[in-house]
């Protein structure tokens, strides 16, 4: 069953330019040069109920604009979209009660009040029945281990504690769809791991559809099996995170350890030399040439150890950013 379907989604923004100075301000009253920013360009995808999908792209690629259209904040310029069976831009009350958004850089909590007050306010906003509210709150507080700070002023909480409270406030009405925008930004590695474990558990047990944006690849690799990659407003990849290397130019990393010193200049003929100190070297070699070149390296040099690896997923994703072509 589909939670989200997007077909040919497009969003354009119109804006104006103005040169500096009073005279140019007067001219601007009569004539203004109009420019158009194509923020999202004809993208299509679908997300099944219960999926946890990574939504990736560089700054300015169109991620936030797409999420705003999916949540009903922005009206699309063109295309069709259906989220939980609704048209988000109609902003129906029933639709708004079925999703939630958590942003790592924006808070929904009142800084001068205990987090419990903001969570209780959400209970009334979403009209959650008292017993259901208590059960959900107890479950979330226990899973995130924050019972000792539930009644502490939000401004006095650590960044990690505040993010856990943000998650509780967002999930108190048990939404079917959750948008997570950089939920672990600025958190220490221990808290990041705890948040990831919580999200994985919650997704598995409640089948909540989750769309995750993050610049921390550990978040993506630990939580998501599928990735949507957007750049320059276009969808450049939609598929398994494990197969994302298949969308790259097609090269692998070969790491060599030598028994004796090897002149780094002599390795350039076999591939791109990424690193070499004479006793260890890292080469990037085209996948189709791996077998032949590996045999040649073993024959010509005093190779003590050789390992062949896929390119780091971060590098592959950056290369997809740079391609700027649709799928």
Q: What is the pLDDT along the chain (327 residues), one digit of tens a residue?
A: 899 999 999 999 988 777 787 787 777 777 778 888 899 999 999 999 999 999 988 888 888 899 999 999 999 999 999 999 999 999 999 999 999 999 877 888 999 999 999 999 999 999 999 999 999 999 999 999 999 999 999 999 999 999 999 999 999 999 999 999 888 888 888 889 999 999 999 999 999 999 998 878 888 888 998 999 888 899 988 988 777 755 555 788 899 999 999 988 889 889 889 889 989 999 988 888 889 999 999 999 999 999 988 777 667 676 666 654 444
Exposed/middle/buried for residue 237 (C-beta within 10 Å: 0-12, 13-18, 19+): buried
Residue with tokens 């959750």: 178
C-alpha 320/C-alpha 213 separation (Å) is 16
Q: Tell me the DSSP string of 66-81.
A: HHHHHTTSS--SEEEE
Contact 146, 168 (CB under 8 A): yes
Task: Give the domain 249-310 fold.
Answer: VC0802-like (3.30.2130)
Euclidean distance between CA atoms 272 and 225, whole angstroms = 31
Residue with tokens 């259906």: 82
Which CATH superfamily includes the segment(s) 2-244? P-loop containing nucleotide triphosphate hydrolases (3.40.50.300)
| Residues contacting residue 323 through CB under 8 Å, at least 6 positions apart | 231, 236
How does DSSP assign 284-326, residue by residue? EEEGGGHHHHHHHHHHHS-EEEEEEEEPPHHHHHHHHHHH---
CA dihedral 3, 6, 7, 10 (to 10 degrees): 160
Give residue 247's pLDDT.
56
Instruction: For residue 307, give Cα distances in angstroms to 116, 193, 264.
Output: 53, 29, 18
Query: Which of the 8 DSSP states describes residue 109?
Result: S
DSSP for 195-229 reads: HHHHHHHHHHHH--EEEEE-S-HHHHHHH-SEEEE
Structure tokens at 207: 């089948």
Q: How many residues does the chain have?
A: 327
Q: How far is CA 53 from CA 1, 50, 80, 232, 243, in A?
A: 15, 10, 20, 20, 14
Query: Is there a common fold for 2-244 and 249-310?
Result: no
Phi, psi of 266 (to 5 degrees): -80, -5
Domain ranges of the chain: 2-244, 249-310
Q: What is the model's pTM? A: 0.76
Q: Could you tell me how far CA 208 lies from the centroid of its own chain? A: 17
- In the chain, count H helices and then E strands: 10, 13
Q: pLDDT value at position 210?
A: 96
Burial class of residue 254 in the structure, from the number of CB atoms within 10 Å of its CB (0-12 exposed, 13-18 middle, 19+ buried): buried
Instruction: Give the residue among 125, 143, 292, 158 at the shortest CA–CA distance from 206.
Output: 143
Q: Residue 313, Cβ neighbours under 10 Å: how many?
A: 17
Question: Among residues 158, 133, 144, 321, which one has the least CA distance to residue 230?
Answer: 321
């Amino acid at each position: 069953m589909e939670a989200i379907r997007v077909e040919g989604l497009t969003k354009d923004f119109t804006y104006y330019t103005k040169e500096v100075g009073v005279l140019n301000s007067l001219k601007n009253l009569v004539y203004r040069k109009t420019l158009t920013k194509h923020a999202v360009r004809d993208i299509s995808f679908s997300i099944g109920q219960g999926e946890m999908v990574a939504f990736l792209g560089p700054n300015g690629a169109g991620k936030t604009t797409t999420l705003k259209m999916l949540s009903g904040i922005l009206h699309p310029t063109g295309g069709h979209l259906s989220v939980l069976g609704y048209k988000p831009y109609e902003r129906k009350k029933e639709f708004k009660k079925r999703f939630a958004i958590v942003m790592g850089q924006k808070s929904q909590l009142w800084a001068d009040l205990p987090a419990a007050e903001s969570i209780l306010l959400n209970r009334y906003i979403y009209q959650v029945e008292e017993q259901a509210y208590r059960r959900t709150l107890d479950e979330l507080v226990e899973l995130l281990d924050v019972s000792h700070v539930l009644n502490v002023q939000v401004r006095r909480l650590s960044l990690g504690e505040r993010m856990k409270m943000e998650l509780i406030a967002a999930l108190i009405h048990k939404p079917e769809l959750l948008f997570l925008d950089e939920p672990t930004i600025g958190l220490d590695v221990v808290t990041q791991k705890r948040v990831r474990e919580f999200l994985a558990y919650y997704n598995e047990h409640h089948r909540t559809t989750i769309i995750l944006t993050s610049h921390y690849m550990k978040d993506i690799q630990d939580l998501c099996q599928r990735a949507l990659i957007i750049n320059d407003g276009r969808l450049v990849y939609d598929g398994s995170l494990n197969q994302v290397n298949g969308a790259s130019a097609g090269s692998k990393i070969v790491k060599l350890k030598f028994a004796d010193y090897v002149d780094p200049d002599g390795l350039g003929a076999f591939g791109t030399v990424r690193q070499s100190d004479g006793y260890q070297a890292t080469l990037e070699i085209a996948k189709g040439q791996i077998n032949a070149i590996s045999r040649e390296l073993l024959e010509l040099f005093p190779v003590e150890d050789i390992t062949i690896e896929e390119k780091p997923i971060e590098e592959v994703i950056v290369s997809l950013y740079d391609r700027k072509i649709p799928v």
